[in-house]
């Protein structure tokens, strides 16, 4: 295998891209030259009586064999690079990634959960991607890596940051109204800084648990509910959760307006069958929690929502 087509994902992708680009530019130059050459060489003034050329076997073989070899070479280098991208290095640092409309959740092995990916420099990072609702695509342009996050599946991805810094993360698969805003960051830290962050976040998590942070609030954060719903009365993509319980809500049901009291039953329906009764003025885009949350978790969320006055 030619050196340069294995290694880190960013090196592999760039080298394959440059190889294909070099072939493409060479062909462009050759074709442009031949077009100009034949236009001048065989113009009408020099050839008033054109020749009737019936065919040339060797020329036909040549222009069949050369493109075939070029395409096969591009396939070979693309395939060897693809195998490198799919081979996770041993000892890679694992992070579970959950995509949901329209945010990312990163879960570390010590239980820490964050909405930004913090990693150590110089160590391979093994991401385990899944989706909570629709197909998303995890894309870090700086590292030349992209992988779909699919509901009901876990898809692997790996990369390695060579230098400390902050890098953009985008969703590269159209996933709905706020697709363009499904952004976050990768923060690559030195070993010392990362260990401080990792251990510090672990302590914060244990402190939050010991302080008794409302479980319902934790669940709303973990499941991405607070991307669309606020806790302070501010409307976002969806209605605010503050003061919702006990309020009379105008909804669209079977295309007809109805007024419903937001009691326990309504809150549960809004989580399990969110698009059955759409709050007037808001889009029907909320994913159902029926298969994403347990009955206990739904009860905890409802209990917390009832306390938001």
Q: What is the rounded CA–CA span in Å between residue 283 and residue 286?
A: 8
Q: How confident is the model at residue 203 (pLDDT cuts 50, 70, 90)?
A: low
Tokens (6 digits) for 80: 């060897």
Q: Does 6 score more than 50 pLDDT?
A: no
Q: How confident is the model at residue 35 (pLDDT cuts 50, 70, 90)?
A: very high
- Overall average pLDDT of the 190-204 stretch: 81
CATH label of the domain that carries residue 219? 1.10.760.10
- What count of other Cβ atoms lies within 10 Å of the Cβ of residue 229? 20
Q: What percent of the chain has pLDDT over 90?
A: 30
Beta strand pairing call for 93-100 and 125-131: parallel
Per-residue pLDDT of 206-217, as tens digits, reads 555 545 567 888
Among the three residues 155, 181, 211, which one is the final residue of a domain in this structure?
211
In a domain, 269, yes or no: yes
Collapsing DSSP to helix, strand or coil, 119 comes out as strand
Residues 195, 240, single domain; the answer is no
Residues 226, 294, single domain; the answer is yes
Minimal CA–CA distance to 5: which of 70, 87, 82, 72?
82
- What count of other Cβ atoms lies within 10 Å of the Cβ of residue 152? 7
Alpha carbon 33 to its chain's center = 43
Collapsing DSSP to helix, strand or coil, 293 comes out as coil
Alpha carbon 267 to its chain's center = 30
Q: How confident is the model at residue 4 (pLDDT cuts 50, 70, 90)?
A: very low
The answer to whether 188 and 198 are in contact (CB under 8 A) is: no
Residues 98, 205, single domain; the answer is yes
- List all residues 6 or more positions away from 125 whose beta carbon is below 8 Å from its beta carbon: 92, 93, 95, 119, 158, 159, 160, 161
The least confident of 18-27, 45-54, 170-179, 224-233 is 45-54
Identity of the highest mean pLDDT range in 5-9, 189-193, 233-237: 189-193
Residues 98, 206, single domain; the answer is yes
Residues 184, 248, single domain; the answer is no
Structural domain boundaries, residue 25: 9-46+56-86
- Overall average pLDDT of the 220-232 stretch: 79
In a domain, 1, yes or no: no
Collapsing DSSP to helix, strand or coil, 59 comes out as helix
| Domains of the chain: total | 3
Alpha carbon 117 to its chain's center = 13
Q: Does 94 score more than 90 pLDDT?
A: yes
Q: Does 176 score more than 50 pLDDT?
A: yes
Q: Which residue has the higher pLDDT, 53 or 131?
A: 131
Q: Phi/psi of residue 35, each to 5°?
A: -60, -45
């Amino acid at each position: 295998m030619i050196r340069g087509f294995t290694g880190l994902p960013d090196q592999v992708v760039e080298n394959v891209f440059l190889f294909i680009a070099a072939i493409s530019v060479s062909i462009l130059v050759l074709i442009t030259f031949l077009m100009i050459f034949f236009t001048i060489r065989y113009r009408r003034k020099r050839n008033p009586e054109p020749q009737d050329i019936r065919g040339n076997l060797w020329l036909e073989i040549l222009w069949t064999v050369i493109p075939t070899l070029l395409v096969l070479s591009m396939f070979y280098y693309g395939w060897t690079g693809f195998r490198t991208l799919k081979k996770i290095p041993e000892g890679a640092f694992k992070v579970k990634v959950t995509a949901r409309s329209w945010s990312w959740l990163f879960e570390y092995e010590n239980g820490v959960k964050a909405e930004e990916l913090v990693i150590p420099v110089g160590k391979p990072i093994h991401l385990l991607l899944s989706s909570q609702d629709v197909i998303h695509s995890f894309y870090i342009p700086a590292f030349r890596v992209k992988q779909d996050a699919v509901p009901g599946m876990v898809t692997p991805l790996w990369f390695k940051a060579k230098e400390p810094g902050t890098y953009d993360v985008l969703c590269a698969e159209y996933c709905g109204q706020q697709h363009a805003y499904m952004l976050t960051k990768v923060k690559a830290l030195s070993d010392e800084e990362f260990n401080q962050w990792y251990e510090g976040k672990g302590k914060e998590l244990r402190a939050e648990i010991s302080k008794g942070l409302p479980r319902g609030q934790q669940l709303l954060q973990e499941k991405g509910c607070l991307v669309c719903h606020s806790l302070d009365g501010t409307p976002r993509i969806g209605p605010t959760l503050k003061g919702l319980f006990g309020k009379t809500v105008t909804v669209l049901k079977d295309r007809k307006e109805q007024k419903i009291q937001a009691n326990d039953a309504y809150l549960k329906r809004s989580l399990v069958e969110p698009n059955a009764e759409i709050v007037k003025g808001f889009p029907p885009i909320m994913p159902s929690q029926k298969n994403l949350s347990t009955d206990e978790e739904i009860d905890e969320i409802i209990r917390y929502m009832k306390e938001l006055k």
